[in-house]
Structure 1
Amino acid sequence: MSQIQNILVDEAFVALDRQLSGFNFFDVLNLRNAEIRHTRFLAHLLDPLASHGLGDVFLRAFLLQAAALGKLSLDGVKQLEVQDLDLQLARVIPEIPFKNSTPLDEAPSSEANANPKGGQLDIFMQIPLRTRGGRDLVIAIENKIQAQAGVGQLQNYKKWLDAKFKRHKIHCLYLTVQEQDANTGWVHVTYSELVYPALVATQHATAHSASQDVAIFLCHYAQVLRDIVESEAAYATTDALAERLMEKYPRVQEDIKRLIDEWPRLADGAPLKPSWGLYRRYMKTFQFLASFDTDESTQVLRWFTHQWGSGLKERNLQILRDDSNRGYLRFLPIAPDSALAALSKQCGKKRRSDERYPWTSGENGVLFEIRCSADGGRSREGSRRSQTDRSDSVVQYKWCLHVVVGPLEGMNRASLVDRLRCLYRIAWPQTQVRKNQKDRPVIQERVLSEQFYSVMKWNFEAGDYKVLQKKMVSPKFLDFLQQAAVLTEEALAECLAGQA
């Protein structure tokens, strides 16, 4: 066990354990991915009269963020003015059960106890409009953490809303973690676009007024949401720390796996061994390291770091790598005499605002990014499946390319995003259609996290990392990279010149 004893005092292991093993109330109660609990907590924060004592602070931040995103409007034209709302009189109701297209409390008595196959409307809000002569703002929120809406579920909710509140202004928000297509009549929005920024704004606004209990809950919930919306970027350094430890202690994985195998199962009825305490204390970190080498995305990361780009010299294309891990591979494609790298650094933010959740140590303003996702996403502990899952089930991965714009200095980010999208549309007019795109880039403006936007997304049809490798050296992909790099350089140069 000598390598384990050595690794315990290694600063990289200490840092890794600190990131993976921190206390969080939602983790202790196994609520991190519990959709119903998220819904109830979100509804509680939205209710200005609830016991949190924050008043309408979160509701106001939520509505302001939604209006800024263009998700809320009056009469389909005028952007909602939050000051027109009487927030203190808002009514917020979570989890209204439905039977077909009727809430159970409105159903006939014979159906009141029936199985509500129609599901339940997650959050209903009704807020008086001060200037609209008895009209209210009605907002329905369908909240999905990992699942998708059932067949006909959203249509039933919308049918009821239109019938009961037809004289009011109705907005239906389909709130998810990942990008999904919403049904007709529903507007899609993600946690990263709406809930997380509103929660951060609430923390700042109530830093000196919230009670200690409420402040702690907000802090823990913010950690959960940050991990959900930042996804792999939330723990950007974990893979780098693990790789450093694997290189320094090449036999430690065998020692850790042996230690894990010694953990007695309840069914065995065996006595606890002295190693039990060691394993239990560092369980999450040990399991993270035990699965690191065998994870398919680790192979992709190593190939990207050490091999990809070496065979591209004949195309006069250089790959300038930035911070990368198993969740994302960040880089800039650089052609001869290209100023893209210099322009990206010129406008990139020079200092990380949060050392634990950085954008990029390369100080770039724009990067190309290949993202990896798995069924259910990566958990906070960093593995692709539950930390207590000992099964040998195969994890399915998906990859996609993004062009992302991060925090900028000396340049208006909205202007750059608009210019990039304009140039991309001219170059690839077929990318204007978002739905049913097959192996083709899609122009978008999507908030991937609080810190950066995706301007273009290309879903790869690659079922495993070997197919992905072939994709990344194919002429079609490399031609696209070169053309996108030229257009990105042009947009950066124009926007920097406009700011001068």
Structure 2
Amino acid sequence: MDTELDIQLFFQEVASICALEQAQQEERNRKGENYNLFSILSIERYELKHSALIANLLNPKGSHGCGDAFLRAFFDITLKGITYPFEGCTLLRSDTEYYTGPIAGETGGRIDILIHSSRYGLIIENKIYAEDQDKQLTRYDNYGKMTFGADKYLLAYLTLYGYDASKKSTTTKSTEEVGYLRLSYAEDILRWLEQCVRLAYNKPLVRESLNQYILTIKQLTYQDMNQENIQKIIDLAVEYPEVVATLSSKRDAIAQGIREKYIFAELRKYADKKGWLFDDTEIANPKGDNKIHLRKEGWNGSIIIAADRENKKSNYGWWMNLWIGIDSKEAGAHKLACLKQKNDEYPMGWEYLTTPNWYSAENFPAMKTSVAQEIINKLDEIIEELGIK
């Protein structure tokens, strides 16, 4: 088996399929088939907007006019056939950002989506880009126990690809982890929405709105490619398993190459153009933090682009939960309006970037096309608000 030749043939075939896909996409654009208000308004970037839409669809009194059909379908399809628990409920509610009290240890916080009656609750934590908060699922699990009682609620954790929640979110005082159901936009929500389209067959406005939202989810999860072309690539991968194995084994090196070529190189160019120092010395250190500093002569501080770590001894080299913030020792520093959050360590502010990690293959397309520009746009806002020339 000539692996080098196989790789060459594999990529030739993939390139041919991608060229066909591009031509088909251009034809769909010409016909207006890719027109999508969700994308035009950049709604796909905001978790709260997704939560509001999903909660409305799950609400029997929602403006969709389909009663509890969508909620029943959610249990039948998305929740793995769990028996519908709201039969005969007249006091059924759907809420977003539901306030459960001030955060104190293992209680409190705001639930993204809560579907509830007096006897049962469906609690959904919706994570697209944001990081888990400390004891977040533990707090919501305790709310379910206290409000509905054991076995009278379901805690679900919804992410783009069905990721596990972090241990800091699920660990309890007894060091046990709370139970929850993993859900994904890529599979579970898509299958449910497709069923909702069928259920709304006689409501054209609802049906077409759902179709646009389905397109948005497919774009978010990189599934908007023609299904026939996807199957061709799958068949090709089956034909050349050695090539797929080689590529898979080098995923981290590929991710590093993509980061360097499409993100770090662009940020270096930006820093040079602005007359700033691009400091990546911590990245070069095998035991260093995943942090880039941008510094300006005469300013006692730096703009940081960094990745979280679960704890001080893990995740070296793993670019996950990306964020941008300001590290400044200036007395009386206040939070910038262009940054969403602040804490004692970063009083001038910080916020997460929309692409959650830079090692996952699902994010490679965004790392090539949009991540650097997103950071540059935010850097422009920060520099302008700081007033640094």
* TM-score normalised by L of structure 1: 0.39
